[in-house]
Amino acid sequence: SPGNCSAFVATGSWTKSRQIVMAHNNWTGYLAGERWRIIFDIVPKDGYRMLMDGFPGVIASDDDFGINSSGLMVTETTITQFEGWDPGGKAEFVRARKALQYASSIDDYVRIMLDGNNGGYANDWLLGDRKTGEIAQFELGLKTHRLWRTRDGAFAGSNWARDPQLIKLEAPDFNPRDPQSSPNARRARWDELLQANRGKIDVALAQQMLGDHQDTFLHKDQPGERTLCGHTDLSSHGSPEWLWNPYYPGGAVQGKVTDSSMAGAMAFTARAGHPCGGDFLAAPFLAAHPEYSWQAPFLRDMKAGPWTEFRSAQAAPPAR
C-alpha cells in the first residue's frame, strides 16, 4: 500500500499539561491534496458524534484524523510497501468509519478494526482516550497485528512498521535500516523532536513540529521528501519507496492538532496547505517540470491557510 503521513500522540510527563496531544499531517499528491480541506461534523442516528477531516465524497476521514463525543482521539500513518489483501474482508474505510462512530475506548477501536480486516490500507493507528489519558499504537497488518499502550509516553508514525515480524511477513521490501528513505529519516526526526521537547509538548508546539524541515540524512534544514513537512516537489531524489519520481508534486498538504481539552469540547485545530506555511504554485512548477504537464488541467495552487480552530456545531462560513 502507499503510505504518506507524519503523526504523533503523547501523554503524561511528555506533554506540558500531562494531557494527550495528537498531531498529524497528510502527505499525498498535490492534485488531490489541495482538495483535502473539508471538516466533517457528523451527528449519526446511532453512535457518537464525530469531527474529522476529509475530502469530497468520503464517509470516513481517509487520512484518518478524527475525534468522537465519547472522548476517543484517532489518527494513523500508513505502512510503507505493505503487501497483502483479503478480498473477502471489509474495506478499511468501512471499518474506520464504524470504529470512530461506535468505539468508546481503545479496546473498542481495536476490536472493530479487527472485525473483517482485509489488510487493505494497512496502518499504524495512533489512539488516545481522553477519559483515561491512555494512548496506544495499534499496528494492523493482514497476518499480524500488535498493540502498544501507555499512560506516560509518546508514539510517532511516519509510514514505518514497528514490529519486525510484520516487516518480515508483510513488508519484505521495506528496509528499516536505510537512513535515506523518507519513513526512516522522519522516524529519526520524530525521536529527536519528542525527546528534546519532553514535558513541553502542547498544541502550539505540535503545530510547529508538523512544519519541521530538518533532514536527518543531510543533517541540515532543507525541505524535501525526508522532512516531517514533506516537499517532494523540491527533491531531485523523489520518494522511490512510494514510486514518486524526482520532483513529484506531493508532500504534506495539511495538518491537524488537538489535545484532551479540545477533544472534550469536540474541537481541533487545522491548517490547509503545507503545515510550515509555504505555498505551492502550479504554474512555475509545471514550467520547471514539464514531465508533470499531464496534471496541468487539474493541478491547482496550494496556498497555506492559517491554523484555525474547528468545533462541532460551528456555523459554516457564508458562501462566497
Domain containing residue 144: CATH number: 3.60.60.20
| Residue 167 in domain | yes
| Residue 317 in domain | no
pLDDT tens sequence across 20-77? 999 999 999 999 999 999 999 999 999 999 999 999 999 999 999 999 999 999 999 9
pLDDT tens sequence across 202-230? 999 999 999 999 999 999 999 999 999 99
- Quote the CA–CA distance of 198 and 3 in Å, as a whole number: 27
For 284, the domain range is: 5-311
Grid-cell match 470504529, residue found: 99
| Residue 69 in domain | yes
| Cα angle for residues 239, 180, 226 (degrees, 5° grid) | 60
Number of domains in the chain: 1
| Residue 223 in domain | yes
| Residue 113 in domain | yes
| Residue 319 in domain | no
- pTM of the predicted protein model: 0.96
| Res 164 pLDDT > 60 | yes
